[in-house]
Structure 1
Amino acid sequence: MPAQDYSKLEGVMWALRRNYECLSLADKDKLQILYKHSPVLKQAHYYALKLTHIFNSHSTRKSAMAKINRWISSVEKSGLRCFDRFIKTLIRYKGAIANYFKARKNSGFVEGLNNKIKVIKRRCYGLFNIRTIIQRLFLDLQGYEKFA
């Protein structure tokens, strides 16, 4: 990749993570440069966005699973290998994943809380008083709203 094109790709990871419709013209240009140098990445990004769209659409459990099965088939026909492990996991837990479409609930809150607790544990390394650790946990989770 020429150095001139490479310098234009700063911040392209954020463009890959957003919906294409929400991107600025500059971000769309960055993606076009990236796609020009990596057509496989363009194809993989296309399939990733299609799957995201399935989960963002309000489908019934049955229709969502049909869409996911079609997505798996199209990815396998495309010849892309980067989704192989993901597809195996998706197939293995398909029933549990399909339950998301019943009430559109997930474990995001619990995962976020676990992550905050892990960060606090790292920050409190060396504190031996459990009360201090509990206070730190309370402040990080609710304290800024109460004491701000």
Structure 2
Amino acid sequence: MAGKLLFVSCLIGLDEIALKKGHKDFVVIVTARDSGKITILAVLNDRKKSTVKAFLSSIPKRLKKTVTTVCSDMYDGYINAAKEVFGEDVVVVIDRFHVAKLYRGGMDNLRKKEIARLKTELAEEEHKKLKGVMWLLRKNAKDLVYEELEVLERLFKYSPMLEIAYKLRNDLTDIFDSDISKSEAQIKIDDWMDKAIKSGLTCFNNFLSTLDTRMCEIVNYFINRQTSGFVEGLNNKIKVTKRRCYGIFNVKHLFQRIHLDLNGYSLFT
């Protein structure tokens, strides 16, 4: 369901939520941000490319001109729909936090395999000394204290490949945290890809494949550092609304409830 298109922000965010926990009946939340103000534009019945494209195409021409960026996750349906509707007039950005989730997940998978291996190979007392490494590996390296660094040093002594993956992951995060241009970022990420491939590790293979196909949309982040974090924040509010209302499974009712929570009764007057 779509609301009255009174305006369209310079940034449109696309993301989905499941109406029912454990089910795949996703609905797409289309939101807009302009000067810090967040507006919900639509709740779409499904995440098909055709559905998303139909909504974006329905935006009046005069309002389309105000859109400069579309930010989404890595789903091809969202990306391709936005490109086909807006062409080169709009920058399509893959949200950096979805990017981070993918490459951090790769290292996390390696961590699980290595910890399982060490549990069978190390004496029980020695394995206990590695307690809590999951949180230490996820923690910002700059925030680690001496005792925590000692635990990681012990871990890396038993798993050199995990140390390589850890450094590669942190190097990539440093790139995204750097104040650099899109062209500089692409050079640095290309260098990172070369290091990841030469390392012989396979935990980043899925991410490397994504870089091969979606490098442009990923490095578009460095143009204005736009993210869809505001969409994630809205999704959390929607989840709270669903729980408060004992579940809302009707798309029209969901849109009305979200709009009421955000903007009061202006849509229905």
Q: Per-residue deviation at 1:36? A: 1.6
Q: Per-residue deviation at 1:105? A: 1.5
Amino acid at match of 2:139: R
Taking structure 2 as the reference length, the TM-score comes to 0.45
Tell me the percent identity: 46
Name structure 1 gaps, 5 residues minimum. 142-148
**Residues 92-115 of structure 1 deviation map (CA, whole Å, 9 limit, x = unaligned):** 111111111011121122123224
Amino acid at match of 1:7: K
Name the structure 1 match of 2:191.
70
Larger strand fraction of residues: 2
Alignment of structure 1 residues 21-100 onto 2, 5 Å: 21-100=142-221
Larger helix fraction of residues: 1
> Distance between the aligned counterparts of 1:72 and 1:10, measured in 2?
31
Q: Is the 8 A contact 1:5 1:33 kept in 2?
A: no
Q: Is the 8 A contact 1:51 1:71 kept in 2?
A: yes
2:229 counterpart of 1:108: yes
Name structure 2 gaps, 5 residues minimum. 1-121, 263-269
Change in Cα spacing, 1:26 to 1:103, as seen in structure 2 (3 Å) is same
Amino acid at match of 1:24: V
Q: Is the 8 A contact 2:242 2:248 kept in 1?
A: no
Taking structure 1 as the reference length, the TM-score comes to 0.78
Change in Cα spacing, 1:121 to 1:25, as seen in structure 2 (3 Å) is same
Amino acid at match of 2:224: A
Q: Is the 8 A contact 2:182 2:219 kept in 1?
A: yes
> Distance between the aligned counterparts of 1:90 and 1:26, measured in 2?
36
> Distance between the aligned counterparts of 1:57 and 1:104, measured in 2?
11
- Paired residues in the alignment total 136
Higher-RCO chain (CA-CA 8 Å, sequence separation at least 6): 2
Q: Per-residue deviation at 1:126? A: 5.7
Change in Cα spacing, 1:98 to 1:80, as seen in structure 2 (3 Å) is same
Name the structure 2 match of 1:145.
none
RMSD: 2.6
The residue matched to 2:127 in structure 1 has which SS?
helix
Q: Per-residue deviation at 1:30? A: 1.3
Q: Per-residue deviation at 1:123? A: 5.9
**Residues 60-93 of structure 1 deviation map (CA, whole Å, 9 limit, x = unaligned):** 1000000000100111111111101111112211
